[in-house]
Amino acid sequence: MNQKAWHCFSAARDRFRELTKQLLRDLPGLQERQQELVDRRDASAYPVETPVVFNRALDAVEAGDTIKLILAADNPGRQEQRAEIQRYLAGPSGKLAEKFFRDSLGIDFRREVLILNKTPIHTPRTADLRELCRMGGPAFAEGLQASQRAMAGLLVELHQALGPLRVWITGYSELKTKGIFAAYWEALKERYQSWDAGREEVFLYRHFSMNQFTMDLHSQAQEGEAIPETLSRIGRAYRLRIMGW
């Protein structure tokens, strides 16, 4: 990346780091409520170590690196929140994504892709964010929404600084009115509203979890069509359906 892009990236990364610290300060009791959610899972319970996760992989990005794509997933799960990891898409879904990018696109997922989330707040499953807000009341609900708006802003800011490049948003079922990620959805639409070229570089897909992404890609592939062509076609179709453009 050039010097201007590097400075923009560094500043955005620092604000992201501060966001995670501020959320933790603003949401007292968060870790206790998260642990309650985890403990309900009995045999698969684990200790909550990092309630709000900054993606430490961003600290490994250097000025001379080439970023080919930005990917936004949902929120940090069990592996991502471990104190010794604190990186996004570090579990089974990440391994599937890493393999796909390497084998099908020739992209080093860990060095050439910036991985963000729709919120940095941890829960055992993304669906548990609803219950977390119920347990924590209005303060938790507002904290979650504020985190989503901030993460949408971060994505667009990095897109503008590092582009032109593709932006993948994986997981779209909760990008809707009253969805878990409604605030992210609305903020993203607002931020891209006046940036026509940027909108055309945004693509939506299924999750990598449970191989949903790959199965959907294969089911929609057309004879004689290369993988990048299939990706472009279905990514635009989902974007139109969910984002309206």
Q: Tell me the CATH number at 161.
A: 3.40.470
What is the per-residue pLDDT for 44?
A: 82
The yes-or-no verdict on residue 41 having pLDDT over 90 is no
Task: Give mean pLDDT, residues 146-151.
Answer: 98
Q: Mean pLDDT for the chain?
A: 97
Residue-number span of the structural domain to which 212 is assigned:
3-243
C-alpha 83/C-alpha 12 separation (Å) is 23
Give 161-183 pLDDT, tens digit per residue: 999 999 999 999 999 999 999 99
What is the per-residue pLDDT for 42?
A: 74
What is the per-residue pLDDT for 43?
A: 73
What is the per-residue pLDDT for 111?
A: 96
Query: At a CB cut-off of 8 Å and minimum separation 6, what does 102 contact?
Result: 108, 109
Task: Give mean pLDDT, residues 76-91.
Answer: 97
What is the per-residue pLDDT for 58?
A: 98
Q: Cis bond leading into 164, ω under 30°? A: yes
How does DSSP assign 145-191, residue by residue? Answer: HHHHHHHHHHHHHHHHHH-S-EEEEE--TT-STTSTTHHHHHHHHHH
Percent of the chain with pLDDT over 90: 98
Backbone dihedral region for residue 151 (phi beyond 0: left; psi -120 to 50: alpha; all else: beta): alpha
Task: Give mean pLDDT, residues 200-218.
Answer: 97
What is the per-residue pLDDT for 180?
A: 98
What is the per-residue pLDDT for 220?
A: 98
pLDDT grade for 28, boundaries at 50, 70 and 90 = very high
Task: Give mean pLDDT, residues 53-65.
Answer: 97
Query: At a CB cut-off of 8 Å and minimum separation 6, what does 64 contact?
Result: 1
